[in-house]
């Protein structure tokens, strides 16, 4: 039971498949929480300037993997190398899974972005003017300048996502980790926020890791995908990973992958089509229940 590169060969030690050296690599990571194995053998690398999608159904372990990447959860096995990310002043930035902000919270968009500066400058306050410049620049980068002085809780979900991204970017991180930033957005905002992630990665040499349950909104901007299911992961380009034979092997259950009008439909077939995929690390008959793709 371990993750593998999409072609079926063993994945490299994080970065072998990348065009550039990774700023962060996850090497053979396993996590046990509350006595239960959540994920095992997860491997991938994050390169500067690229968007990597962490895709999987509810409960697959996306948030857990992101928290391991950030160092908030200690892996039970394997390790995370962050030396590359540590070279940039802002290190790693995190936009957690969204909870809509209370409409009455007396905090303007620009105040929230400003808080992103403080964490990295404890004890060394920036001059007010410089601070304002950095905040304005971050708001500008994500197209949030127009609502900089509005209360954060009164902004729409898509506008809040932009402000949260500005908050993450203001300290100039090497890696930005976002947990389901597209949840609760309409199709248009989904597209806009996804495009924004692509632009931020490309223009600022940031490695972006973004979780989602659906691969489609990220297709235009995603260089690579880490697909999580059944406690395991496959890593590669979208073309390599999101294929019937690869996902069938991951789920141990027949999965059709259809490409229609530039969208990808991942369709699990009925339980009758369950396939027996030999797994050297699992004793026969130890499989859990069949999990739906969505
Ligand atoms: N601290 C914990 N102790 C025990 N189990 C946990 C803990 N945190 C998460 N889990 C379990 O780990 C599994 C994966 O949870 P996780 O939140 O990582 O999934 P997810 O893919 O982010 O799901 P969603 O799409 O719903 O956000 C779940 O079954 C969850 O109950
Ligand atoms: Mg989650």
The per-residue pLDDT for range 109-132, each reduced to its tens digit, is: 999 999 888 765 555 677 788 889
Q: In terms of Cα–Cα distance, which of 98, 87, 95 is closest to 115? A: 95
**Beta partners for residue 95, in sequence order:** 178
Residue 202 lies in a domain: yes
Cα(12) to centroid of ligand 1, in Å? 27
pLDDT band at 18 (very low <50, low <70, confident <90, very high): confident
Residue 263 lies in a domain: no
Cα(63) to centroid of ligand 2, in Å? 4
Instruction: Count up the domains in the chain and report the number.
Output: 1
Looking at every residue in the chain, the average pLDDT score rounds to 85
Residue 172 lies in a domain: yes
Lowest mean pLDDT among 21-25, 104-108, 272-276, 290-294: 290-294
CA 227, CA 241: separation in Å to the nearest integer? 7
CATH number at residue 84: 3.40.50.300
Residue 292 lies in a domain: no
Question: Nearest C-alpha to atom 16 of ligand 1 is from which residue?
Answer: 61
Summarize pLDDT for 237-290 with one digit per residue, the tens. Answer: 999 999 999 999 999 889 999 999 889 998 887 665 566 655 555 444 444 333
State yes or no: pLDDT of 9 exceeds 80: no
- Residues contacting residue 208 through CB under 8 Å, at least 6 positions apart: 50, 51, 52, 175, 176, 178, 197, 200, 201
Residue 200 lies in a domain: yes
What are the C-alpha distances in Å from 54 to residues 155, 178, 241, 278? 27, 10, 12, 25
Residue 252 lies in a domain: no
Rg (CA), the chain: 20
Residue 280 lies in a domain: no
Question: Nearest C-alpha to atom 26 of ligand 1 is from which residue?
Answer: 58
Cβ distance 29 to 17 under 8 Å?
no
What are the C-alpha distances in Å from 243 to residues 69, 247, 248? 26, 6, 8
Cα(201) to centroid of ligand 2, in Å? 22
Question: pTM of the prediction?
Answer: 0.85
Residue 61 lies in a domain: yes
- Find the domain containing 146 and state its range: 4-244
Ligand nearest the Cα of residue 233 is: 1
Query: Quick one: average pLDDT of 234-239?
Result: 94
């Amino acid at each position: 039971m371990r993750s593998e590169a999409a072609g079926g060969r063993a994945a490299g030690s994080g970065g072998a498949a990348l065009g550039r050296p990774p700023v962060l690599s996850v090497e053979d990571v396993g996590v046990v929480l509350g006595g239960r194995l959540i994920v095992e053998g997860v491997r991938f690398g994050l390169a500067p300037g690229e968007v990597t999608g962490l895709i999987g159904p509810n409960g697959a372990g996306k948030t857990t993997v992101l928290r391991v990447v950030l160092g908030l959860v200690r892996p039970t096995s394997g390790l995370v190398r962050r030396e590359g990310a540590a070279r940039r002043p802002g290190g790693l930035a995190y936009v957690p899974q969204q909870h809509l902000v209370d409409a009455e919270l007396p905090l303007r968009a620009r105040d929230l972005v400003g808080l992103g500066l403080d964490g990295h400058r404890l004890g060394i306050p920036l001059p007010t003017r410089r601070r304002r410049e950095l905040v304005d620049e971050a708001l500008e980068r994500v197209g949030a300048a127009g609502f900089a002085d509005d209360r954060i809780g009164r902004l729409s979900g898509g506008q809040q996502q932009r402000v949260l991204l500005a908050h993450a970017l203001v300290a100039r991180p090497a890696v930005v980790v976002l947990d389901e930033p597209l949840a609760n957005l309409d199709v248009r905002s989904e597209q806009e926020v996804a495009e924004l992630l692509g632009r931020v990665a490309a223009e600022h040499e940031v490695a972006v890791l973004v979780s989602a349950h659906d691969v489609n909104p990220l297709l235009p901007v995603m260089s690579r995908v880490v697909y999580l299911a059944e406690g395991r992961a496959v890593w590669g380009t979208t073309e390599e990973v999101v294929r019937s034979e690869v996902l069938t092997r991951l789920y141990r259950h027949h999965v059709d992958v259809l490409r229609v009008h530039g969208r990808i439909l991942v369709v699990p077939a009925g339980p009758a089509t369950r396939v027996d995929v030999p797994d050297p690390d699992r004793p026969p008959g130890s499989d859990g229940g069949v999990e739906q793709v969505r």
